[in-house]
Amino acid sequence: MRIYRFLVVTVMVLSMGANAAEYTAPRGPDGEHPDLNGVWQALNSANYDIEMHTASHSLQLRDGPMGPVPAIKTLYMGAVGAVPPGLGVVEDGALPYRPEALAKRDENKANWADRDPEVKCFLPGVPRATYMPQPFQIFQSADAVFIAYQYAGATREIYMEDPGEAPIDSWMGWSAGRWEGDTLVVEVTGQVDSTWFDRAGNHHSAAMKVIERYTPLGPNHLMYEATIDDPQTFTRPWTMRMPLYRRMEANAQLMEFRCVEFVEELMYGEWRREPLPR
């Protein structure tokens, strides 16, 4: 399986690299850099697990008589709560966790329903916002870049002039951008440690720095890379990589998914004057 995955990823990387080298994107509003404007979406299973993984009974498991079975909190989700397989988006194999951080990842996974910030509609952070199973839109002007996400109405401004250090940690962090040829490079700092990378419990500390790279591969494709540097959680920096696809519908646009109201019963229902059964 590892050899198969290596061959598949190698072929994809080589072919995408060749396409990127041959492709010259239309110039953007400043007439100098590529035009990244558009509605984009990742098409993979990274939000389930950024590492390579096989299909699983459920997002949260418990020991059963013949092997793992769904935990009580996910049992009635049935196949909807199952985990589809994925080749993963992490380069160079498994995540290089420190031992104590790996133990925390496993604990997170065993308590997914209670711990995943996505369950409670908290903002996803970077890079997870990029590969949530919903689109996002890049707005690019001559001197500014802004990204809006359909999930939870998340947004972030990418400062194209050095903004200095983040004034305070936040869910979506502090983004400083620059151009390296036709690649938009964004350094993201100042993120709270409450966001996860996926539904598999992969996590980070508040010391994490993310370097994103957005490179046009063709008129309707971007290559996205995110290098994670978090010495409190990992033994070395590591990179995830995936293509992003332009939404091609004639009326492609972001719609509202303000999920805060969808989790009010989950988070506050017990405080009703007459709580509903749980």
Work out the pLDDT band at 159, boundaries 50, 70, 90. very high
**188 pLDDT more than 90:** yes
Work out the pLDDT band at 20, boundaries 50, 70, 90. low
Provide the pLDDT for residue 278: 84
- CA atoms 41, 45, 49, 50: torsion sign: negative
Provide the pLDDT for residue 22: 85
Buried b (16+ CB within 10 A) or exposed e, 98-127: eeebbebbeebbeebbebbbbbebbbbbbb
Q: Which residue ranges does the chain devote to CATH 2.40.128.20?
A: 2-52+97-271
**70 pLDDT more than 60:** yes
Closest CA to 152 of 8, 57, 72, 258: 258
State how far the Cα of 155 lies from the Cα of 172, in Å rounded to an integer.
Answer: 8
98-139, pLDDT tens digit by residue?
Answer: 999 999 999 999 999 999 999 999 999 999 999 999 999 999
SS3 for 172?
A: coil
248-276, pLDDT tens digit by residue?
Answer: 999 999 999 999 999 999 999 999 999 99
196-237, pLDDT tens digit by residue?
Answer: 999 999 999 999 999 999 999 999 999 999 999 999 999 999
How far is CA 218 from each of CA 37, 131, 185, rounded to the nearest angstrom?
13, 19, 18
Q: Residue 139 is encoded by which pair of tokens?
A: 């707005």
Cis omega (within 30 of 0) for bond into 127: yes
The pLDDT mean for the chain works out to: 93
Q: In sequence order, what are the residues at sequence separation of 6 or more whose Cβ sits closer than 8 angstroms to the Cβ of residue 71?
A: 58, 60, 61, 62, 113
**77 pLDDT more than 80:** yes
Q: Is residue 81 a contact partner of residue 70, using CB atoms and an 8 Å limit?
A: yes
Q: Is residue 94 a contact partner of residue 164, using CB atoms and an 8 Å limit?
A: no
Work out the pLDDT band at 93, boundaries 50, 70, 90. confident
Provide the pLDDT for residue 14: 56
Burial of 96 (0-12, 13-18, 19+ CB in 10 A): middle
Provide the pLDDT for residue 148: 98
SS3 for 5?
A: helix
- E-strand ranges in the chain read 38-42, 61-64, 67-70, 136-140, 145-149, 155-159, 174-180, 183-189, 209-218, 221-229, 238-246
**Into which CATH architecture does domain 2-52+97-271 fall?**
Beta Barrel (2.40)
Provide the pLDDT for residue 56: 97
Provide the pLDDT for residue 252: 96
Work out the pLDDT band at 50, boundaries 50, 70, 90. very high
To the question of pTM greater than 0.85 for the whole model, the response is yes
